[in-house]
């Protein structure tokens, strides 16, 4: 537990320094900042590095990372399910249009990012990390289910 906390602390400190530099530059130049977006980028950058070991480079970028955009939209689209009639969003999902069509595309982006990271990690640890009898397709399915649970979409109809 201590090792995890120590590694998280180092990552958060590194990203906090970048955040501090951005805030200092804006203060010196008198520029305005969208603090909500900036803190979202800080969060996604720290989350990706702590959770996946990936440096996304979105904190000090003017453009949002595609994963960040997809993740933010997916959360909003899932929230919309609670305020819309069930029949409405289910028809949208069935037709692949509107917010549900966008949700499908966003989950595809999230899947591609996460599965790309998993593929990279599997390639690095191919000799020792796979349990006997468990292949790459089984791991992809488990990762998709985990991402689905994390987003709360309940879409367990995954294909390997």
Instruction: Report pLDDT digits (tens) over 96-117.
Output: 999 999 999 999 999 998 888 8
Number of domains in the chain: 2
Q: Say if residue 31 is in the same domain as residue 79.
A: no
Identify the pLDDT of residue 114: 86
Per-residue b/e over 55-65, b at no fewer than 16 CB within 10 Å? ebebbeeeebb
Q: Residue 34 pLDDT more than 80?
A: yes
Give the residue with greater pLDDT, 121 vs 45: 45
Give the residue with greater pLDDT, 57 vs 139: 57
pLDDT-wise least confident of 11-20, 43-52, 147-156: 147-156
Q: Say if residue 100 is in the same domain as residue 150.
A: yes
Q: Say if residue 88 is in the same domain as residue 58.
A: no
Q: How confident is residue 160, by pLDDT bands cut at 50, 70 and 90?
A: very low
Q: How confident is residue 79, by pLDDT bands cut at 50, 70 and 90?
A: very high
Identify the pLDDT of residue 139: 63
Q: How confident is residue 65, by pLDDT bands cut at 50, 70 and 90?
A: confident
Q: pTM to 2 decimals?
A: 0.67
Residue 44's domain spans which residues? 1-63
Average predicted confidence (pLDDT) for the chain: 83
Share of the chain above pLDDT 90, in %: 43
Q: Say if residue 89 is in the same domain as residue 148.
A: yes
Q: Say if residue 87 is in the same domain as residue 155.
A: yes
Identify the pLDDT of residue 70: 94
Q: Say if residue 103 is in the same domain as residue 143.
A: yes
């Amino acid at each position: 537990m201590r090792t995890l906390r120590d590694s998280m602390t180092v990552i958060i400190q590194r990203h906090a320094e970048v955040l501090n530099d951005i805030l200092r530059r804006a203060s010196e130049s008198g520029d305005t900042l969208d603090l909500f977006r900036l803190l979202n980028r800080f969060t996604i950058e720290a989350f990706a590095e702590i959770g996946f070991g990936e440096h996304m480079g979105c904190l000090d970028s003017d453009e949002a990372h595609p994963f960040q955009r997809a993740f933010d939209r997916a959360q909003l689209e899932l929230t919309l399910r609670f305020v819309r009639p069930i029949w409405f969003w289910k028809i949208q999902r069935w037709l692949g249009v509107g917010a549900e069509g966008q949700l499908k595309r966003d989950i595809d982006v999230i899947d591609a990012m996460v599965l790309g990271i998993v593929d990279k990690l599997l390639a690095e640890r191919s000799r020792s990390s796979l349990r006997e009898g468990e292949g790459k397709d089984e791991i992809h399915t488990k990762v998709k289910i985990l991402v689905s649970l994390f987003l709360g979409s309940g879409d367990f109809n995954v294909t390997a």
